[in-house]
Amino acid sequence: MNFGTDLLTETLELQDFYLARKRIEPYTQKTPLVYSKKLSQQLNANIYLKYEHFHESGSFKYRGALNSLNNLTEAQKQKGVITFSTGNHGYALALAAKKLNIRAIVCVSKNVPRAKTDRMVDLGTELEIYGNSQDEAEARCYELAKSEGFMIIPPFDHLDIIAGQGTTALEIIEDLPTTTDVIAGLSGGGLVSGIGAVMKKINPKIGVIGISMEHGAAMHESLKQGRPTIVDEPFSLADSLLGGIGDNNQYTFNFVKQYMDYSILISEEHIKMGMAYLYKEHKIAVEGAAAVGVGALLNNKVPVKEGANVVVIISGSNVDLDAHYEAVRAYLD
Ligand SMILES: *Cc1c(COP(=O)(O)O)cnc(C)c1O
Answering whether pTM is above 0.85, one says yes
DSSP reduced 3-state for 114: helix
Q: Say how many Å lie between the first and final Cα of the chain, rounded.
A: 61
Q: Which amino acid is at 114?
A: R
Yes or no: say if 210 and 192 are a contact pair by the CB < 8 Å rule: yes
CA–centroid distance, residue 189 to ligand 1 (Å): 8
Q: How many domains does the chain have?
A: 2
Ligand 1 atom 14, closest CA: 240
What is the per-residue pLDDT for 8? Answer: 60
Whole-number pLDDT of residue 5:
47
Same domain, residue pair 200 and 218: yes
Nearest CA to ligand 1 atom 7: 190
State whether 43 and 144 are in the same domain. no
Q: Are 58 and 86 in contact (CB under 8 A)?
A: no
The H-assigned helical ranges of 13-133 are 14-24, 37-43, 61-70, 74-79, 88-99, 114-122
Of the three residues 126, 152, 178, the one that is the final residue of a domain is 152
pLDDT along the chain (333 residues), means of 10: 50 96 97 98 98 98 98 97 93 97 95 88 95 88 96 97 98 98 98 98 98 96 95 91 92 98 98 98 98 98 98 97 96 86
CA of 2 to the centre of ligand 1 (A): 30
Name the residue among 242, 247, 252 with its Cα closest to residue 318: 242
CA 120–ligand 1 middle distance (angstroms): 18
Judge residue 7's burial from the number of C-beta atoms within 10 Å of its C-beta, 0-12 exposed, 13-18 middle, 19 or more buried: exposed
Tell me if 186 CB under 6 Å of ligand 1: yes
- Answer yes or no: is 268 within a domain: yes
CB 130 within 8 A of CB 142: no
Kindly state if the Cβ of 240 falls inside 6 Å of ligand 1.
Answer: yes
The whole domain housing 79 covers 61-152
Are 142 and 185 members of one domain?
A: no
Inter-helix orientation angle 159-175/190-202, to 10°: 50
- Do residues 167 and 108 both lie within one domain? no
1 belongs to a structural domain: no
Closest Cα to atom 10 of ligand 1: 185
**CB 24, CB 11: distance < 8 Å:** no
Q: Which residue, 108, 127, 152, sits at the end of a domain?
A: 152
How many Å apart are CA 284 and CA 106, to the nearest integer?
30
Helix (H) or strand (E) holding 272: helix 268-282
CATH of residue 111:
3.40.50.1100
Examine the domain organization and report whether 45 and 193 are in the same domain.
Answer: yes
Separation of alpha carbons 95 and 154, rounded Å: 15
